[in-house]
Structure 1
Amino acid sequence: MHALLPLVRTSDFPNLTRGRLETVQVNLGYRCNQACLHCHVNASPKRKEMMTRETVEQVLAWLRRTPASTLDLTGGAPEMNPHFRYLVDGGRELGLHVIDRCNLTILEEPGYEDLADFLAERRVEITASLPCYLEDNVDRQRGDGVFQASIRGLGRLNALGYGSPDSGLVLNLVYNPQGPTLPPAQAGLEADYHRELDARYGIRFNRLYALANMPIQRFGSTLVSRGQFEPYLRLLKQAHREENLENVMCRSLISVDWQGYVHDCDFNQMLGLPLGGTKRHVTEIDAAALPGQAIITADHCYGCTADAGSSCGGALSGSTRNAPDQPD
């Protein structure tokens, strides 16, 4: 808990209110086949929290009563939940755009050999973590052998049509910095990824999302242990840009945890900050009443508004490139 306490203190982050609900992000559980250093969920193979079939049914029933157009599935590794495919099919039957936040290495795990085909058949958008196009950097952050497994996964997805402009099968990649620094300008980095992944491995993808690391859970604990927590938080605050407040994802998204309780975003979920300040189940939420409601904020929210901004859909604006010096 020591890494979490500084983040729920009184914050000077600007007040935010909700707009129309567009995206429902469902965290299917914290179990993952990896244990990445930058993980804000503290996910790992040892975690046991998993959404039940009953809760999945409740989420689908609630989605029918909302204006949301996108179902965004995350974890952990969301695919490791035994009801993942049922939820995907349920979302598609409702006419929702479904996103799977995939770590790529899950495609090679025993029992998941047909996962790529399943996702392609349902035309699920894949947003996949690949924090660098260099093998050493990825393995340092995510574990030995992860990069090559990720490249093999990307190759398999490409073979199914993912990443091809006219296929309709969208494959986006996610970049995270190696440590307590801000991500570089997304457009330039995306061009580098396209060039290097194509030249080195023949890999195609659609977009690159550059995300800042959130100082919570495993990454937050690491910062505390290294004496970098406060310097990183200062960096985020100094790089705050007011214009990013208009586009932060929490204004049009809600996060449902593995038990069905609702939060403003996945980061608030990890800090135990409930939607509206009161713990409520998804079955208790009236989506029509959400617009205009206050969003629960704390110091970690500066991670979404620093410099070019950061969200589940990448940068929120053009980079200032005038961000303050980054800590070592």
Structure 2
Amino acid sequence: MHETKPLLGGSDFPALFRKPLDVLQINLGYRCNLSCVHCHVNAGPKRTEMMGRETIGQILVLADAANIQTLDLTGGAPEMHPDFRYLVRAARDRGIEVIDRCNLTILEEPDYADLAEFLAAQKVNIVASLPCYLEDNVDKQRGKGVFKNSLAALQRLNRLGYGQANSGLELNLVYNPQDAVLPPDQRQLEQAYQQHLQRHYGIVFNRLFAIANMPIQRFGSILFSQGRFESYLALLKDSFRADNLDNLMCLNTLSIDWQGYVYDCDFNQMLDLPLGAVAKPKLHVSELDLECLQDAPIATAAHCYGCTAGQGSSCGGALAGSTP
């Protein structure tokens, strides 16, 4: 497959500078039980990359030193990492909020039968991928049978209290477009999801996050093969909104890959674009000096327009109307 790194030279994306660090987004590895078309990580069942226990320990040291408020765990399927539960417990014991970016179907795998109960007991916030509320669309994007398994997982989470009022167990869903287009209005789409899922399946959730597809890795390769890569980049740039800049998640988030190297965001990680605050090619979490992050420049390139296009896009959904 064609490697889809944007041309870094000549990018005219506005300069960005860091705010105080609050969030560590940790990619525990690329192994996943699915191989989704829109995946910007190119994850799948045959991937073997996994973070080591030593690196996890170094991340916990950083979390203590920086007074981190949130650990955002991603992959692949982060739950497939053998130390996933160890890390969750260690973070929760420190009073750190934990977000699990869950593909839902992992909860229905036989080897993970008690995973939902573990997440509820640890009060982990779940951000779950459900790119549509219609079966055909979901299975087309994520694989045959994924929709039914996702519904079963959501119903299980609801029984445990997730998405229920005053339960303290937060369940948010993620929408990704089916094509090289911008997501529709998040609020209107959220209402449509809520009405359809509750009416047809009795499923409830807290919020819907509408996230733009990034033209990198698997999705970028598909665009290249179809001759639509440049036109999609043009769409993102033409849809730029400056009022989204103050709410970008890279301002207060540090991304850490499975080897322990640090980046300004998850997308830069996938493009091997080093942390903007350092001159060396890569900086390991064990080498990080927190003082170097203060008001430091953020590495940007053409793909950054994906976060500022239209209503904006981040791992927390649309940026329009949100607070920094």
Sort the TM-score into its range (normalised by shorter chain).
Answer: over 0.9
Residue 185 of structure 1 contacts residue 318 of structure 1 at CA under 8 Å; is this kept in 2? no
Q: Of 294, 303, 323, which residue of structure 2 is paired with 1:300?
A: 303
2:174 is the counterpart of 1:174 = yes
2:32 is the counterpart of 1:32 = yes
Partner of 1:217: 217
Residue 25 of structure 2 contacts residue 73 of structure 2 at CA under 8 Å; is this kept in 1? yes
Residue identity opposite 1:151 in structure 2: L
Partner of 1:189: 189
Distance 2:6 2:158 in 1: 43
Partner of 1:140: 140
Partner of 1:325: none
Partner of 1:127: 127
CA shift for structure 1 position 255: 0.3
- Could you list the runs of 4 or more consecutive aligned residues of structure 1 that deviate by over 2 angstroms after TM superposition? 1-10, 286-289
Residue 32 of structure 2 contacts residue 77 of structure 2 at CA under 8 Å; is this kept in 1? yes
CA shift for structure 1 position 75: 0.2
Distance 2:7 2:41 in 1: 15
2:81 is the counterpart of 1:81 = yes
- Bigger shift: 62-71 or 140-149? 62-71
Residue-by-residue CA offset, 1:188-229 (whole Å, 9 max, x unaligned): 000000000000100010000000000000000000000010
Partner of 2:59: 59
Residue-by-residue CA offset, 1:38-71 (whole Å, 9 max, x unaligned): 0000000011100011111111111110132000
Residue-by-residue CA offset, 1:111-152 (whole Å, 9 max, x unaligned): 100000000000000000000000000000000000000000
Q: Secondary structure at the match of 2:111?
A: coil
Q: Calculate the TM-score normalised by the size of structure 2.
A: 0.96
Partner of 2:232: 232
Residue identity opposite 1:300 in structure 2: H
CA shift for structure 1 position 110: 2.3
Distance 2:142 2:297 in 1: 36
Partner of 2:287: 284
Partner of 1:43: 43
Partner of 1:15: 15
Q: Secondary structure at the match of 2:113?
A: coil
Once the two structures are superposed, the pairs formed by residues 310-325 of structure 1 within 5 Å of their partners are 310-317=313-320
Gaps of 5+ in 2: none
2:169 is the counterpart of 1:165 = no
Residue identity opposite 1:29 in structure 2: G
CA shift for structure 1 position 108: 1.2
Q: Secondary structure at the match of 2:65?
A: coil
CA shift for structure 1 position 5: 3.6
Residue identity opposite 2:312 in structure 1: G
Residue identity opposite 1:313 in structure 2: G
CA shift for structure 1 position 290: 1.2
CA shift for structure 1 position 7: 4.1
Residue-by-residue CA offset, 1:218-247 (whole Å, 9 max, x unaligned): 000000000010010000000000110100
Q: Calculate the TM-score normalised by the size of structure 1.
A: 0.95
2:69 is the counterpart of 1:69 = yes
The count of aligned residue pairs is 319
Q: Secondary structure at the match of 1:208?
A: strand
2:244 is the counterpart of 1:244 = yes
Identity of aligned residues (%): 64
Residue 7 of structure 1 contacts residue 300 of structure 1 at CA under 8 Å; is this kept in 2? no
Partner of 1:198: 198
CA shift for structure 1 position 90: 0.8
Distance 2:216 2:269 in 1: 11
Per the alignment, do residues 130 and 7 of structure 1 end up closer, same or farther by CA in structure 2, a change over 3 Å counting? farther
Gaps of 5+ in 1: 320-328
Distance 2:166 2:289 in 1: 38
Distance 2:121 2:165 in 1: 17
